[in-house]
Structure 1
Amino acid sequence: MTNEEFDKFKLEFEARYKLIGEIRCPYFQEPVIFNAKGLEHLKFMRKHHARTIEEQTVRIKLFPLAQEIINTTRTIQGISHTHHFEVERTNQRSETKLLPVSYYEFVAILNEKRVRVVVKQISNGPKFFWSVIPFWKIDKNNNRWKMNYGNPELD
């Protein structure tokens, strides 16, 4: 895929993503929001550290499965609670604060693809889509299969 083809592919995906809004999740019995944070996380590992074109392409292609998993799942495979510095807007100012963060992980096999979906919640705020991850990766250090980086903030 050339850079121009990838840019077109990514722009079309972003337009579809922005139309989603929210999906009700049977596990939470409440909606999961699809906001700009989740979209940015599909493109960047963290601020100013973009994912490779190949990694972005894989995640974008798996995204429809993430929607289906969130829409149908009734079981959770992992919950992680931590504290993380998050940007919080108050009174038209942005502040970085250390806040409690929860990550909810769902794993499913759909269309012969094993996928992990991460939903994030900051403090007691709304739950929002954070990431879709191909369940297996190859560790570049030893050429062996590994599940993920092990850090939901980066995965």
Structure 2
Amino acid sequence: MGKDYEVVRREAQELYASFGKVNCPAFGNEPVYFTSEGFNHLVYKTPKKPRDQRVQIMKFELLNKAKLIVETSTTFQEYEEEFKYVNLKKHGRHIRENALVRSWGLIAIVKKFRIKVVIRQVGNGKKEFYSVIPAWFTKQYRNIKIIETAVGGGLLSEDDEETLKNAT
């Protein structure tokens, strides 16, 4: 793979940490925070289940483009909201609580890469970077173009096998 995975991951983590927060025109210049939860989502599919290392590296390589999309997007193309059980920290204690989770998809083509950046907000909390997803599917049916952004689960659902297949 060229560089050692650990080196690539460490460099990506340092780059990601340098982003801090970025004002996003799509949200009236509200800040979007690049938190450890967002980076963990790039590395893990679910807690304790890492993504394929090739998928991780692909997502790491898109981080600068993701930041650019957040900084420059004036509109969001997708929006979802749902109630989910999420881990929250309240008064210094970790609890699981049912909360409204809002997700926005900012889609752009940057240097010939089709990229979707997912921003997430839990309850009335801050808007946080959640994921960057390369290349989605495009199907043509007669004169209708159908764009599928995720298989099955919507904005927050990602299939690593599909990600790898579409990146080639």
Q: Deviations over 1:42-92 (max 9, x none)?
A: 001111121100110111111111100000001111100001111111222
Which structure 2 residues correspond to residues 40-119 of structure 1 after superposition, within 5 A? 40-119=40-119
In 1: Cα distance, 2:66 partner to 2:18 partner: 15
Q: Give the equivalent residue in structure 2 for 1:121.
A: 121
Q: Structure 1 45/71 Cα, relative in aligned 2: closer, same or farther at 3 Å?
A: same
In 2: Cα distance, 1:150 partner to 1:11 partner: 32
Secondary structure at the aligned position of 2:98 is classed as: strand
The alignment covers a number of residue pairs equal to 147
Which structure 2 residues correspond to residues 14-29 of structure 1 after superposition, within 5 A? 14-29=13-28
Q: 1:31 offset after TM fit, Å? A: 0.5
Q: Normalized against structure 1, the TM-score is what?
A: 0.88
Q: Where do 5+ consecutive residues of structure 1 fail to align?
A: 138-144
Q: Structure 1 stretches (4+) deviating beyond 4 angstroms?
A: none
In 2: Cα distance, 1:49 partner to 1:148 partner: 20
In 1: Cα distance, 2:49 partner to 2:151 partner: 15
In 1: Cα distance, 2:45 partner to 2:14 partner: 21
Q: Where do 5+ consecutive residues of structure 2 fail to align?
A: 138-146, 159-168
> Is residue 150–residue 157 contact of structure 2 (8 Å, CA) maintained in 1?
no
> Is residue 45–residue 154 contact of structure 1 (8 Å, CA) maintained in 2?
no
In 1: Cα distance, 2:100 partner to 2:149 partner: 25
Q: Structure 1 83/52 Cα, relative in aligned 2: closer, same or farther at 3 Å?
A: same
Q: 1:153 offset after TM fit, Å? A: 3.0
Q: Structure 1 150/67 Cα, relative in aligned 2: closer, same or farther at 3 Å?
A: farther
In the alignment, structure 1 residue 13 sits paired with structure 2 residue 12: yes
Q: CA RMSD in A?
A: 1.7
Q: Give the equivalent residue in structure 1 for 2:163.
A: none
> Is residue 135–residue 148 contact of structure 1 (8 Å, CA) maintained in 2?
no
Q: 1:20 offset after TM fit, Å? A: 1.3
Q: Normalized against structure 2, the TM-score is what?
A: 0.82
Q: 1:146 offset after TM fit, Å? A: 5.7
